[in-house]
Amino acid sequence: MALSLLNRTGPEGEEMTFVDHLEALRWHIVRSLLAVVVFGIFIFIKMDWVFERVIAGPLQNDFISYILLCRFSHFIHLGDTLCMPAINVKLQAIEFSSQFMSSITIAFVGGFIAAFPYIFWEFWRFIKPALKPSELKSTRGSIFFVSFFFFTGAAFGYFLLGPFTFNFLSNYSLGTTHLLETKPTLNDYLDNLVNIIIGCGLAFELPVLAYVLTKIGLVTPQILASSRKYAIVVILVVAAVITPSPDWSSQMLVFVPLFLLYQLSIVVSKRAYKEMIKHDNEDWS
């Protein structure tokens, strides 16, 4: 792959030099950043609405996840088991620049998430000329699947993991004398929220990663299946990193879908491996 990237040809069929490759890559990066900036500017213009309705959503007692989880708990006759207590915290901005810099962070991260399909498309355009026709055939729909798993993971982090985490941390108390009061800062909240959303979005790319690694010959479905016990340990570590909350319920909330994604990765790897064997047999025949 690395060698074929350096042997690409330009629009008129001439072979591209190393400097030409860097120039092409630079423009792909520039266009990606422009997309992030455009979405970021739009988000910044609507910042008050975005902050109150989206960013601060998991801190609101009427957040949709709390309502639906409580209704689901009653529907399956578990009473108030899944109904979470109210969150009684107010964010603090302890520096003059905190609110403005937080607005920039929200706009940039939101712009990146919104522009993610385009960013991956630009990356795909850069590596596409280095792929063989057989490789191109097996990568159909890659932009859709990469974007789908990323947005699914981001939604999982925002609607499930985030509410569980912030609800637990806001209602956790050290000792019984109530000498301590949770007063989180705006920067602390944003850091946790961004880590959860982006972390889950990237973690959910596991099936796509398994497909790519199988295609380039670095892994096989047999290796993935035999490494399941080691994968469980790695997934537990990832779950602990993604979740700021130390409680086991939030970490299990991340572990279970990631483990299911690992199982899906084995299935995807088997399919990719069969395609490789089929293509190799066709080349030999």
pLDDT bin (cut points 50, 70, 90) of residue 253 is confident
Over residues 200-213, mean pLDDT: 90
pLDDT digits (tens, 9 = 90+) for 36-68: 999 999 999 999 999 999 999 999 888 999 899
Residues 66-93: tens digit of each pLDDT:
899 889 888 888 888 778 887 878 899 9
Question: What b/e sequence results for 244-267 when a residue is b if at least 16 CB atoms lie within 10 Å of its CB, and e otherwise?
Answer: bbeeeebbebbbebbbebbbebbe
- More confident position, 202 or 175: 202
Q: What is the pLDDT of residues 5-42, one digit of tens each?
A: 545 555 555 566 767 778 888 899 999 999 999 999 99
Task: Enter the tokens of residue 41.
Answer: 């500017």
Identity (one letter) of the amino acid at 35?
Answer: A
Phi, psi of 92 (to 5 degrees): -115, 145
Picking from 18-32, 176-190, 234-248, which range would have the lowest pLDDT averaged per residue?
234-248
285: pLDDT strictly greater than 80: no
| Cβ partners under 8 Å of residue 225, min gap 6 | 266
Selection from 101-115, 155-169, 221-235, 254-268 with the highest mean pLDDT? 101-115
Summarize pLDDT for 254-284 with one digit per residue, the tens: 888 889 999 999 999 998 888 777 776 665 5
Lowest mean pLDDT segment, chosen from 128-142, 157-171, 184-198? 128-142
DSSP state at residue 59: G
d(CA 93, CA 183): 10
Task: Quick: pLDDT tens for 131-157.
Answer: 777 667 767 788 899 999 999 999 999
- Please report the beta strands in the chain, taking only residues with DSSP state E, as ranges in sequence order: none
| pLDDT at 3 (0 to 100) | 43
State the Rg of the chain over Cα. Answer: 23
